[in-house]
Amino acid sequence: MNVTQWIKDIISNPERKSMPIMTHPGIELIGKKVIDAVTDGDIHFQAIKALNESFPNAAACTTIMDLTVEAEAFGAELRMSENEVPTVSTRLLSNFDDVNRLEVPSLAKARVPQYLKADALAAANIDKPVFAGCIGPYSLAGRLYDMTEIMMAIYTEPETVTLLIEKCTQFLLGYCKAIKETGVAGVVLAEPAAGLLSNEDCYNYSSIFIKRIIDAVQDDNFAVVLHNCGNTGHCTPAMISTGAKGLHFGNRADMVEALNACPINLLVMGNVDPVEVFKMSSPEDVFRVTDNLLEKTRKFPNFVISSGCDTPPDIPFENIEAFYQAVDEFNHK
């Protein structure tokens, strides 16, 4: 599909579109557990398909935002349980020599083939754009080196950090090319750790590397949506500098400020709280919060309402219905 035209159509359409980053409710719809979907590409796809069939109003589908797939390919040990998103359990690298010896893995490592399988099945069998998921280079480096340690190493061992991010970028560049080959419309590139940095450091340790990936894969048929839920607004300029066709903001950001800072031809997405609102609130509160956000952003045609991050397991289906009902009623006011 021509994703550039798809974006132009969204911006020119007076109706507000929605695109929550949401897959876990689909896992529950097909009677499976999180561990089944994150280890089996077919089950992952079936979850995406089931969720789309039950809630067809989203402008696009998304795959699971699993920020451990790439780290596992590098050799990181994970903690996996039946119904929780996997996490990195131990630090893999601790000094320059470790980083220097680190090999950039092939795309055949760990669960990468299963995620590419899910991408390909979704692209071939779902009749709307599908956006795959991928971690960003700084966030990947932080999972390999330890997030606290890499924050300090930026100032004490910048050459170590730069070398590690370079190796992460090499891997992610190949991964994003493979994702593009599956036929999906784009990728949500998740770089939440970069939101912990200043705008200057976000640019130097994240954005310039992401721009290399974007320059290599983004075109009229493939879009990169850059997600940074750590950004409270302070590093929005660094995000814009990457050239991504879309930016996705977390619930800590002020969406009106974000929209004012972004070019009008850029899709800007966010930012209903995935836990406090989608999971923990009543349907009435989900409706109210969604409607309030739509009202506040009414004047911005490039706004696509979304969750602030990947929605967690065990979201009440009534809350999902309330979210889409609020969007529908707003469009008919």
Residue-wise pLDDT for 35-69, tens only, equals 999 999 999 999 999 999 999 999 999 999 999 99
- The three-class DSSP label of residue 39 is helix
Q: Crossing angle, helix 137-145 and helix 208-217, to 10 degrees?
A: 130
First to last CA, the chain: 31
pLDDT tens, residue by residue, 265-286: 999 999 999 999 999 999 999 9
The pair of structure tokens assigned to 222 is 């493939």
CB contact burial 271-293 (16+ within 10 A = b; e otherwise) = bbbbeebbbebebeebbebbbeb
pLDDT tens, residue by residue, 132-158: 999 999 999 999 999 999 999 999 999
pLDDT tens, residue by residue, 310-333: 999 999 999 999 999 999 999 998
The rounded distance, in Å, linking the Cα atoms of 144 and 136 is 13
SS (H, E, C) 80-123: EECCEEEEECCCCCCCHHHHHHCCCCCCCCCCHHHHHHHHHHHH
pTM, 2 dp: 0.96
> ∠ CA(243), CA(249), CA(254), 5° rounding?
120
Instruction: Please report the DSSP string for 217-264 in residue order.
Output: H-BTTBEEEEEETT-SSTTHHHHHTT--SEEEE-TTS-HHHHHHHS-T
Count the helix, strand and coil residues of the chain and give each as a percent rounded to the nearest 5.
Answer: 55, 15, 35
- Residue 48: enclosing H or E segment and its boundaries? helix 41-54
To the nearest whole number, what is the mean pLDDT of the chain? 97
Task: Say what the pLDDT of residue 202 is.
Answer: 96
Task: Say what the pLDDT of residue 232 is.
Answer: 87
Inter-residue contact 277 to 286 (CB < 8 Å): yes
The percentage of the chain sitting over the pLDDT mark of 70, rounded to a whole number, equals 100
Task: Say what the pLDDT of residue 106 is.
Answer: 97
- Residue 287: enclosing H or E segment and its boundaries? helix 283-296
| Residues in the chain, total | 333
Q: Judge whether residue 230 has pLDDT over 90.
A: no
The rounded distance, in Å, linking the Cα atoms of 213 and 208 is 9
